[in-house]
């Protein structure tokens, strides 16, 4: 991979997952219902309004792979478990990455299973911003079943992109269920279409990756979002 000057030419700020998801939501892109909190106690209290089971994650601009440092806990059945898990995760992160800036905890409702996909943006030196779409979510790199298109995407670009991947069949039918393909198309348009998020951010966007996006029968939800912007843009 030849990535030139990533982050060198301009100072960049990696958004917190909560901030990235809030931004996606303003563009009509679905994210899990959740709350963020500064400490385990607040996380527990604020999680009472959510539907259980929930997922808890550590909020930090410095964690690239949360699972590796014990920064994600699934299947929490009660606010008490949220508090315990949050405290445990903070200890774990401090142990694995002592210098990491910890901003708090994100607690989200669990999302029903569906087809997992990865969506990300690269800036090609000849063709500019390209959207990558791959099957397999967190396994996308292993499958290598990915397609690219230049922004902005037109409606037929998305149709063709979804058919381009070798595993296109799973997007038509998955284990006897029909994934919400229209919902996925809408998401991609809102993200990378003519007036979508990527176009609106313009030069302020340094990096974007949504992985995985879960394409269910009804909802199409972004489970994890990594977004980096230039320093000074989009202050939280």
> Closest separation between CB of residue 158 and other proteins, Å?
10
Cα–Cα distance, 173 to 187 (Å, whole number): 19
Nearer to other proteins, 51 or 126 (CB): 126
Looking at 47-55, 68-76, 100-108, 151-159, which segment touches other proteins (CB under 8 A)? 151-159
Looking at 50-58, 76-84, 89-97, 142-150, which segment touches other proteins (CB under 8 A)? 142-150
Q: Which of 52, 103, 226, 233 binds other proteins (CB under 8 A)?
A: 226
Cα–Cα distance, 213 to 178 (Å, whole number): 16
Nearer to other proteins, 125 or 182 (CB): 125
From residue 164, how far is each of 67, 81, 122, 186 by CA, in Å?
A: 31, 43, 18, 18
User: What length is written for the chain?
Assistant: 236
Cα–Cα distance, 195 to 112 (Å, whole number): 30
Check residue 121 for interaction with other proteins (CB under 8 A): yes
Enumerate the β-bridge partners of residue 220. 215
Distance of CA 71 to the CA centre of its chain: 15
> Closest separation between CB of residue 121 and other proteins, Å?
6
Residues 158-217 that bind other proteins (CB under 8 A): 159-161, 164, 206-209, 211
Nearer to other proteins, 24 or 50 (CB): 24
Check residue 5 for interaction with other proteins (CB under 8 A): yes
Nearer to other proteins, 22 or 122 (CB): 122
Tokens of 177: 């269920």
* Residues in CB range of 208: below 8 A, 6 or more apart: 120, 121, 198, 225, 226, 227, 228
Residue 212 gets which letter from DSSP? E
Q: Which of 7, 75, 113, 202 binds other proteins (CB under 8 A)?
A: 7
Check residue 125 for interaction with other proteins (CB under 8 A): yes
Tokens of 186: 């809408």
Chain residues that interact with other proteins, rule: CB under 8 A: 1-7, 64, 118-128, 130, 132, 134, 140-141, 144, 146-150, 154-157, 159-161, 164, 206-209, 211, 226
């Amino acid at each position: 991979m030849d990535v030139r000057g990533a982050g060198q030419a301009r100072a960049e700020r990696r958004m917190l997952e909560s901030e990235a998801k809030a931004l996606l939501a303003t563009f009509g892109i679905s994210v899990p219902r959740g709350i963020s909190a500064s400490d385990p106690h607040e996380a527990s209290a604020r999680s009472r309004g959510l539907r259980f089971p929930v997922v808890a994650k550590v909020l930090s601009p410095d964690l690239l792979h949360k699972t590796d440092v014990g920064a994600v806990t699934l299947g929490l059945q009660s606010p008490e478990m949220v508090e315990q898990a949050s405290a445990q995760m903070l200890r774990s992160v401090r142990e694995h990455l002592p210098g990491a800036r910890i901003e708090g905890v994100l607690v989200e409702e669990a999302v029903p299973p569906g087809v997992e996909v990865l969506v990300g943006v690269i800036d090609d030196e000849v063709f500019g911003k390209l959207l990558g779409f791959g099957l397999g979510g967190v396994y996308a790199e292993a499958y290598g079943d990915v397609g690219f298109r230049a922004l902005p995407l037109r409606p037929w670009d998305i149709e063709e992109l979804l058919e381009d991947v070798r595993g296109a069949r799973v997007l038509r039918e998955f284990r006897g269920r029909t994934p919400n393909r229209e919902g996925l198309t809408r998401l991609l348009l809102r993200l990378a279409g003519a007036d979508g998020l990527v176009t609106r951010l313009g030069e302020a966007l340094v990096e974007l990756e949504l992985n995985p996006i879960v394409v269910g029968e009804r909802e199409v939800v972004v489970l994890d979002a990594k977004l980096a912007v230039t320093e000074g843009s989009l202050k939280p």
